Amino acid sequence: MARQYFGTDGVRGRVGQHPMTVDFALRLASAAARVLAPDGGTVFIGKDTRLSGYMFEAALEAGFVAAGVDVQLLGPLPTPAIAYLTSRVPGSFGVVISASHNLYEDNGIKFFNSQGGKLSDELEERIEAEMEHGVVTRESNRLGRARRNDNLREDYQRFCASTVPEGFDLKGMKVVLDCANGAGYKVGPRLLASLGADVIPIGCSPNGRNINDGCGSTSPGLLQLTVPGVGAAVGIALDGDGDRLILVDNFGRLVDGDQILYLIACDRQEQGTLTGPVVGTVMSNLGLELALRDKGIDFRRAKVGDRYVLAMLAETGGTIGGESSGHILCLDRTTTGDALVSALQVLSILARKGRSLAELTTGMPRFPQVLLGVKVAKRFDPFTVPGIVAAVRDVEARLGDQGRVVLRASGTEPLIRVMVEGVDEDETRACAEQIVWAVKQAGETHGSELRG
C-alpha cells in the first residue's frame, strides 16, 4: 500500500488545508495509538514555536488520551530532544509538531519509535490504514492521562553536554547562536552558557509567526554580519526544529553541512574512533568526496533525505553522515540529526586543537555547484526522454572526472531539478543550462532558477 499522507519526514502541509487540519490530527493520533501502543503506554509530544502548534497539540492530546495512551506535553523542544527522551522510556513513542525549516504558515507531525528512530514505511502504512476506522474513545477507566512536563528540557540539556569529553568547557569562547525563533530558543543558549561560553543569542524571540523568517540556517545573513561584528569565534545557526546546523567562521563565511561532515569525520579518524564510511547524498559537494579520499576515508552517497543517509549508515556500519543543508548524523553520539549535538562536536574540536573554524575547513575545496529547477506541466521521469539523456551524456563527457551531474524529478511537485558541479563556475553554469534547455524541450515547461 502506497503511503498517502506520510512523506520522507512525517506529514506536512499548509495549515488549514488537508491534511494539516484539526480533525486529521485527531484521527492520526487515534490511529497511531492503536498501532504503536495498542495496550497503552506513553507518548511524548514536543513542538516548535508556530502559532498552530497549540491547536495541533490539543488535537493530538485528545486523540491519544481517548485511545488510552498517557501524554507528556513537553512544549517547545528541538525534534532530536523528543527522539532522545523517547528512547529512555521503554514502550513509549514520540511526536513532534513542526514543519522544520518552513515558514509558520506550514506545519507537520512526525513520529519517533521507542528507540528514538523514525518509523518504518510499514508502520506508517499501518497507521494510514487504521485512520479509515475513525476516532476511538475508550471507557473512562481505560482513558490515558495528560500532563505538562517542562523539567525534561534539563534532561536533554544534560544529555547534549554529555556528548563531549568530560571536563570540556567553552570558557573564553564567544559564540553567536541563532535559534531561528524556533524550538531551540530556550535550551540552546542555556546549554552553551552552562559550558562556559559567552553566548550572544539572536533569533530567540519567537512570536508564533517569525520562525525561520530572516533567521536560522536557511537565512544566515544576520548571523554572518554579527559574528565578525562582535568578534565572535563562531556562529551557530539552527533551523526551526533544531535538527539542522549551519556554521559561520570568524570572518563571517558560511560553513555548510559538507564542511561540518569533513571536520567531524577527519577528527574522528585522528582519534581512531571513525567506523565505516562517511555517508552524504547525491547533492553533497564533490570537494567533500575528494578531500575525504585524500585522507583515506571511504565516502558513499545516498538519496536525498536524512532517512536514506541513516539507512545507508546502518547498512554499512558507518556512524557519521549528513546532508549539505546541515542535517548531520553522529550515530556514535545520538540516534538522529541533532544540531546542538553536532555543534558541540565542532566546538570541542576547535577548543582541543586551539585552531579556528576557518583554518580547520581549508582542507576541503568547494566545487562550484549550480542547481536549477525546471517547472513542467506534468511530472515525468527525465531519464525516459532520449533528448535529455543525450544532453546529460554530453555534459558528463565535457566535465570528465572533474564534475558531476544530478538530475531528478521532485517527489512533491511538477519540477525537474538539475544539478551540475565542476571546476569552472561559468562552464558549470553553461552545462546546467544545456540540460535545462533539453528538459524544456521535453514538454510544456518554464524554467526557474532555485539557486546559483
Asked whether the beta carbons of 24 and 63 are under 8 A apart, the reply is no
- What distance lies between CA 252 and its chain's CA centroid? 23
Half-sphere exposure of 76 (CA within 13 A, CB side): 25
Which residue from 322, 316, 323, 311 is spatially nearest to 298, judged by alpha carbons? 316
Among residues 30, 52, 87, 100, which one is catalytic?
Answer: 100
- Rounded to whole angstroms, the Cα distance separating 428 from 425 reads 5
For 127, phi then psi, to 5°, come to -65, -45
Burial state string for 110-133 with b = 16 or more CB within 10 A and e = fewer than 16: bbbbbebbbbeeebbbbbbebbee
Greatest Cα pair distance, the chain, in angstroms, is 72
Q: Compute CA distances 305 → 28, 179, 260, 310, 327, whole Å.
A: 23, 22, 17, 9, 9
284 is catalytic: no
Handedness of CA 212, 217, 218, 220 (dihedral sign): positive
**What residues are annotated to the active site?**
100
